[in-house]
Amino acid sequence: MSASGLDVFDKTLQTTHIWLKEIETKVGPDRQVAWKVLSVVLHKLRDRLPVDLAAHLGAELPLLIRGVYYDQYEPAKQPAKWNRDEFVAEVQRWLSDIRPVAAPDAIDAVFGTLSHYVSPGQIEKVKRALPDDIQACWTNGASIGRPRGETTH
């Protein structure tokens, strides 16, 4: 028998922990911080996407992560028109209530995790829907908030 009594809940909890562990490797070993980073970056990414694409991305997320993805969603206000600098600033603003985490590191961690676990075709559609300056950072693996070649260390 499963721990919760429902296999679907156990599976999504296990998958969520896997995603959070991956994020923790980039933002530090704190599960609550990793959850906040995941939820903030997902919200800001979702808000930057056209509504239909946001829904398609949401459909590919694990159940528990899908719940946080849709939390406080207002499709009538989408998509936001942020460029890279505005996107990074918006993420940083929403991360201000936890221990310091640089928005570029948070964004890189979540984009990388999405790239590992969401289908490549869906990731390509998401990338193409983003403005060139955000898209280029994700596509080329450069840090979203730093010029190419600049590292976080």
Quote the pLDDT of residue 1: 52
2 falls within a domain: no
146 falls within a domain: no
Quote the pLDDT of residue 144: 56
Cα–Cα dist 56/101, whole Å: 29
Quote the pLDDT of residue 146: 47
Quote the pLDDT of residue 64: 96
Quote the pLDDT of residue 60: 96
Quote the pLDDT of residue 2: 67
Its sign, for the CA torsion 28, 31, 35, 40, is negative
pTM of the model: 0.88
Quote the pLDDT of residue 147: 42
The three-state secondary structure class of 100 is coil
Considering its fold, how many domains does the chain have in total?
A: 1
42 falls within a domain: yes
145 falls within a domain: no
What CATH number is given to the structural domain containing 102?
Answer: 1.10.490.110
The list of the chain residues with pLDDT below 50 reads: 141-142, 146-153
46 falls within a domain: yes
41 falls within a domain: yes
148 falls within a domain: no
Quote the pLDDT of residue 138: 81
Cα–Cα dist 95/106, whole Å: 9
Q: Give the residue numbers spanning the domain of 38.
A: 7-140
113 falls within a domain: yes
